[in-house]
Structure 1
């Protein structure tokens, strides 16, 4: 199957998934809570994508949903709550979200080789589950990431459904942080693309922003979700729980995504051990000087 046909199939599945979620919102039972309506719609869409993943034997069908779903949820909440177009906080937040979503989805499209390829982590997760591989595929690869992203969307829900708090300094901090995080992710991805295109076998990436952090793209991703949390805190001062989504994102990166990437790099490239000694794991900082 060609790359173009693969992308077309993913796009069709996403249209069907979005239609299924929208169908629930239009004709399903009313829960009286906009956040719960959005969650159910998101899970229904996820199940559609899961079905396509099983039919095609490729769970990478899900990958782009991470950045496609959030703007859809955000606009649904905003429209349903009738928050008003004059809310400056909302538009600052959505500027960050749309830039993030377009960048991340575009990067996925750029790097997607086709449905003959699957993210290397997914077969490992299914293999470790043994006879429970279907449950692992459903929960670990599809449902849990959906719930993770939804947790990060809690402050977005707060901003979309509350008004009254004036625009303030925290909104500006959140906006600046979001833009800086997106810029870091963009630079990290561009540098990695150039490296992959020209690298020699066994080479490791330790230049540019990758010389300050072994995972600058993940640090930037965390920064975006933290920015959403700060917007939520500005909309509901004192509501510390709006930051729990960003905290959960950091935990996911530190306990799952990064350890798997680190182990794979160490197994495939022995020189990566030197990178580990010199370069920060997550938070960017100048590299350590290691005695020769």
Structure 2
């Protein structure tokens, strides 16, 4: 199928319409869920339904990148609904967690919008998966690897947000630490993305390696910030309800995703496109920053 050749503005309208439909479908699940269902189960089912709708639209438009904003758009909606379902939660913690998730979501979605050129544009990683999938049907790769898998990882990341919002323990010192970690993570992502945008915008930097600013100490500071954000949310959950410590599965899943998939894929691409990147990999750690 030939991808639609429409303006960027109309592409955004299509994306907005697709997401409104997806969230409407998710709301139907919420409204029809049996009273016995836990809020975590309700969100899980609604999440899957919304993802499948976005998947269907992505197949119609032949553009898997339609899913990309889902990563950052869904969490604030989930968190806001959980607050409504947790009237006995600590108000101060709820306000801080909601604000941090909202800032993170707006910034990350804005970063996606900045780089997305329209419905004719597909993330290079998806094009790579499509070209190397072998005999596996594209619809299965799209549904399982590009859309359902990230949805499940983000759902795991959101697990500690439920106790953080529903827990009644008063705001304490661990919440202060969690606030610093989460806010610092958002700031690191913002700085890393801004530095990358400036570097990439200069024609003379084509094929070169960004090794200044926060990129001098780690090859993937944006990924480090993203991982730290989810660890910060887990700390909020631990502060509110220590019995929910097992929700550490969320940030651990994020580490696995970035270490096993995102970082190797980005490094391989840079090895092919940027001279001297092998030396850069030996000198600069992938994730945890060097101190000197």
State the TM-score bracket (shorter-chain normalisation).
Answer: over 0.9
**Correspondences of 1:191-270 after superposition (within 5 Å):** 191-200=195-204, 201-270=206-275
Quote the residue 1:71 is aligned against.
76
Quote the residue 1:88 is aligned against.
92
Q: After the TM superposition, list the runs of 4 or more consecutive aligned residues in structure 1 that deviate by more than 4 angstroms.
A: 28-31
How far apart are 1:225 and its partner, in Å?
Answer: 0.2
Quote the residue 1:99 is aligned against.
103
Cα distance between partner residues in 2 of 1:160 and 1:196: 39
Cα distance between partner residues in 2 of 1:152 and 1:9: 28
Query: Which among 187, 194, 206 is matched to residue 190 of structure 1?
Result: 194
Is 2:65–2:123's contact at 8 Å kept on the other side of the alignment? Answer: yes
What SS is found at the alignment partner of 1:239?
helix
**Correspondences of 1:148-167 after superposition (within 5 Å):** 148-163=153-168, 165-167=169-171
What SS is found at the alignment partner of 1:184?
helix
Is 2:163–2:240's contact at 8 Å kept on the other side of the alignment? Answer: yes
How far apart are 1:203 and its partner, in Å?
Answer: 1.1
Cα distance between partner residues in 1 of 2:173 and 2:165: 19
Quote the residue 1:2 is aligned against.
7
What SS is found at the alignment partner of 1:203?
coil
How far apart are 1:32 and its partner, in Å?
Answer: 1.9
TM-score w.r.t. the length of structure 1 is 0.94
Quote the residue 1:177 is aligned against.
181
What SS is found at the alignment partner of 2:160?
helix
More displaced stretch, 276-285 vs 63-72? 276-285
Quote the residue 1:290 is aligned against.
none
Quote the residue 2:118 is aligned against.
114
Aligned length: 285
Cα distance between partner residues in 1 of 2:263 and 2:121: 21
How far apart are 1:252 and its partner, in Å?
Answer: 0.5
Quote the residue 1:128 is aligned against.
132
Q: Which digits, 9 at most, give the CA deviation of each residue in 1:207-235, with x for residues without a partner? A: 11101110000000011000000000001
How far apart are 1:128 and its partner, in Å?
Answer: 3.1
Is 1:211–1:286's contact at 8 Å kept on the other side of the alignment? Answer: no
Cα distance between partner residues in 1 of 2:121 and 2:279: 30
Cα distance between partner residues in 2 of 1:131 and 1:279: 36
TM-score w.r.t. the length of structure 2 is 0.94
How far apart are 1:123 and its partner, in Å?
Answer: 2.2
Unmatched segments (≥5 aa) in structure 1: 288-292
How far apart are 1:205 and its partner, in Å?
Answer: 0.9
Quote the residue 2:3 is aligned against.
none
Unmatched segments (≥5 aa) in structure 2: 1-5
